[in-house]
Amino acid sequence: MPARIVHTADVHLDAAFAGLGAGKGPIKRQAIRDTFRKIIADAVEWPADIVIIAGDLFEIEHVSPDTVPFLAAEFRRLKDIPVVIAPGNHDPYIADGVYALTDWPSNVHVFGRTTEGLLRFPSAGISVSGFAHTSRHMEGRLLDLVGPAREDGLIPVLAVHASRESGGSSVRSGDDIWLAFTDDELASLGYRYTALGHYHNPDNIEKAGRIIGSYPGAPEGLNFSEIGRRHYSRVTLERESVEVERVPVSHIDYLDVSVDCGNFQTRQQFFDAVGNLGVNSPGRVIVRVVATGRVAPGFNISAELPEDIRQPFFHLAVDDKTVPGYDWAEIERENTLRAEVARRLGESIAAAAEGDRAMLEQARIWAIEALEGRPIELPPEVLRVD
């Protein structure tokens, strides 16, 4: 029988949400709880043999007095399905912290609290190795803390909150790298599956065509770098095969949308385009709309969006990046240098062959923008000098 693992990480219960507007933070935090409850309910229903939480279950500086009994009650709903927690950089295992001080249900195993770094689950057919972050800033590399898999008849699994540093879309840089590892280093350890946390977007690590580890990503989006539906993973593990199924579970999702207003004559057309974004999931999307395009004179979306347009969204923000179009007849009547440039290019456009007209019209816009001191983004073919 294959082992059935529910793998999640980076839940970030009690995260702070700035910029969503008054009263929205608590609703979004409740959405995270609802998402976590759904993961637990799914684990009971599937049923999972084990639940692995690879760090950042909560944020140690924000954890509310209500969160610990909430978690304990959720874990109790799993009855005898074991839970393994590998604390991360946001929920480190510290002496006076929640993990150490709480009397967890007997099915809950927290690395850091458990003295040995290897837990055996014969009923699931797997062993789980791992460790806890013990501060917000762990030094060293993954291989400093984790030894090779031990073969003792059970399929060896590793659970860690750590940073993949090569070979994938999830690679981060800068000051958020903890316990880095390369894909080759991870493969060299010999675990049949590594349940990872830290990167908030999902990613699988493969070697020789086989998944050796994965990040399920944050199950509830936390900001605009975590776009769209979010998931936990159902892992079906045998000694020679791994299947990772991503199960959508989030409640309130982030969307980042660009709306080209170049052909719009009225604000209403913009409102209609925005209104259509929320129709499929009323109250469940946080949308940032970037309005782009060169717009007709007088076109203006800067005013407050009407309530009936806002209403379907959990939160809606508009970033107006439109630029005004030009009224050439009016510019040509001026007694200015730009009027002279506009007139001459206007004559060229009028005389141009059909195939050259669009290029000359674009040249006229760039010429006027240059005279106005605006930064101009020329396409690469214009910059080519060969």
Token duo for residue 113:
């609290």
Q: Which residue is nearest to Mn ion (CB)?
A: 56
**Considering beta carbons, is residue 163 or 322 the nearer one to Mn ion?**
163
Q: Specify the residue for token string 């970030």.
A: 12
Draw the binding track, 37-66, toward Mn ion (x: CB under 5 A; -: no contact).
-------------------x----------
**Considering beta carbons, is residue 112 or 216 the nearer one to Mn ion?**
216
**Considering beta carbons, is residue 56 or 253 the nearer one to Mn ion?**
56
**Considering beta carbons, is residue 14 or 56 the nearer one to Mn ion?**
56
Closest approach of Cβ 380 to Mn ion, in Å?
38
Q: What are the Cα distances from residue 39, in Å, to 11, 282, 361?
A: 11, 22, 56
Is the C-alpha dihedral spanning 82, 125, 191, 231 positive or negative? Answer: negative
The b-or-e profile of 333-372 (16+ CB within 10 A means b, else e) is: eeeeebbebbeebbeebeeeeeeeeeeeeebbbebbbeee
Q: Specify the residue for token string 């106005």.
A: 372
Q: What are the Cα distances from residue 352, in Å, to 330, 349, 359, 379, 381?
A: 22, 5, 10, 22, 21
Closest approach of Cβ 170 to Mn ion, in Å?
12
**Considering beta carbons, is residue 115 or 173 the nearer one to Mn ion?**
173
Tell me how far apart the alpha carbons of residues 80 and 141 are, in angstroms, rounded to a whole number.
34
Residue partners of 354: CB distance under 8 A and separation at least 6: none
Which range, of 7-15, 250-258, 326-334, 356-364, touches Mn ion by CB under 5 A? 7-15
* Secondary structure letter of residue 246 according to DSSP: E
Residues 271-300 that bind Mn ion (CB under 5 A): none
* Residue 14 interacting with Mn ion (CB under 5 A): no
**Considering beta carbons, is residue 177 or 363 the nearer one to Mn ion?**
177
Token duo for residue 183:
């894909």
Draw the binding track, 245-274, toward Mn ion (x: CB under 5 A; -: no contact).
------------------------------
List the one residue from 7, 10, 186, 220 that touches Mn ion (CB under 5 A). Answer: 10
How many residues line the site for Mn ion (CB under 5 A)?
2
**Considering beta carbons, is residue 10 or 49 the nearer one to Mn ion?**
10
Closest approach of Cβ 98 to Mn ion, in Å?
16
Closest approach of Cβ 56 to Mn ion, in Å?
3
**Considering beta carbons, is residue 4 or 198 the nearer one to Mn ion?**
198
Residues 131-160 that bind Mn ion (CB under 5 A): none
Tell me how far apart the alpha carbons of residues 16 and 37 are, in angstroms, rounded to a whole number.
19
Tell me how far apart the alpha carbons of residues 59 and 48 are, in angstroms, rounded to a whole number.
26
Candidates 225, 180, 235; CA nearest to 201 is 225
Closest approach of Cβ 43 to Mn ion, in Å?
20
Closest approach of Cβ 199 to Mn ion, in Å?
8
Which range, of 10-18, 60-68, 288-296, 324-332, touches Mn ion by CB under 5 A? 10-18
Closest approach of Cβ 283 to Mn ion, in Å?
26
**Considering beta carbons, is residue 10 or 74 the nearer one to Mn ion?**
10
Token duo for residue 251:
């409640």
Asked if residue 43 lies in contact with residue 66, where contact means CB atoms within 8 angstroms, the answer is: no
Closest approach of Cβ 90 to Mn ion, in Å?
6
Q: Specify the residue for token string 């109790």.
A: 76
Closest approach of Cβ 118 to Mn ion, in Å?
24
The residues of the shown chain that bind Mn ion, judged by CB under 5 A, are 10, 56
